[in-house]
Amino acid sequence: MADNAASLSALVTGGAQGIGRAIALAFLKDDMNVLIADRDEDACTETAAALSQYGRIIGTICDVSVEEDVRKAVHSAIDRFGRIDVLVCNAGITGPAVPLEQLTLEQWRSVIDVNLTGTFLFAKHAAPYLRKTRGCIINIASTRALQSEPDTAAYTSSKGGIVALTHQLAVSLGPDVRVNCISPGWIETAEWQKHANRTTPVLPEQDHLQHPAGRVGTPEDVASLAAYLASPKAGFITGQNFVVDGGMTRKMIYVE
The DSSP code sequence of the chain is: --SSTTS-EEEEETTTSHHHHHHHHHHHHTT-EEEEEES-HHHHHHHHHHHGGGS-EEEEE--TTSHHHHHHHHHHHHHHHS---EEEE----------GGG--HHHHHHHHIIIIIHHHHHHHHHHHHHHHHT-EEEEE--GGGTS--TT-HHHHHHHHHHHHHHHHHHHHHTTTSEEEEEEE-SB--GGGS-GGG-------HHHHHTSTTSS-B-HHHHHHHHHHHTSGGGTT--S-EEEESTTGGG------
Q: Is 152 part of any domain?
A: yes
State yes or no: pLDDT of 1 exceeds 70: no
In which domain, by residue range, is 193 found? 9-250
Q: How many domains does the chain have?
A: 1
**For residue 230, what pLDDT is reported?**
98
Give me the catalytic one of 54, 155, 228, 254.
155
- Percent of the chain at pLDDT above 90? 91
Q: Is 1 part of any domain?
A: no
State yes or no: pLDDT of 199 exceeds 90: no
**For residue 3, what pLDDT is reported?**
58
**For residue 198, what pLDDT is reported?**
84
Band of residue 6 on the pLDDT scale cut at 50, 70, 90 = low
The residue count of the chain comes to 256
Q: Is 137 part of any domain?
A: yes
User: What average pLDDT score do residues 160-186 get?
Assistant: 98
User: What average pLDDT score do residues 176-204 get?
Assistant: 92
Q: Is 183 part of any domain?
A: yes
Q: Is 256 part of any domain?
A: no
Rounded CA-CA distance 173/150 in Å is 35
**For residue 4, what pLDDT is reported?**
47
Is position 155 annotated as part of the catalytic site? Answer: yes
The Cα angle at residue 163 between residues 161 and 167, in degrees rounded to 5: 115
Q: For 111-147, what is each residue's pLDDT tens digit?
A: 999 999 999 999 999 999 999 999 999 999 999 999 9
Contact 214, 208 (CB under 8 A): yes
State yes or no: pLDDT of 185 exceeds 80: yes
State yes or no: pLDDT of 175 exceeds 60: yes
State yes or no: pLDDT of 5 exceeds 60: no
State yes or no: pLDDT of 201 exceeds 90: no
**For residue 2, what pLDDT is reported?**
61
Q: For 25-71, what is each residue's pLDDT tens digit?
A: 999 999 999 999 999 999 999 999 999 999 999 999 999 999 999 99
User: Domain with 157 in it: what CATH number?
Assistant: 3.40.50.720
User: What average pLDDT score do residues 1-18 get?
Assistant: 82
Contact 9, 34 (CB under 8 A): yes
247 alpha-carbon distance from chain centroid: 20
Q: Is 255 part of any domain?
A: no
**For residue 197, what pLDDT is reported?**
85
Q: Is 2 part of any domain?
A: no
Band of residue 241 on the pLDDT scale cut at 50, 70, 90 = very high
**For residue 63, what pLDDT is reported?**
98
Q: Is 43 part of any domain?
A: yes
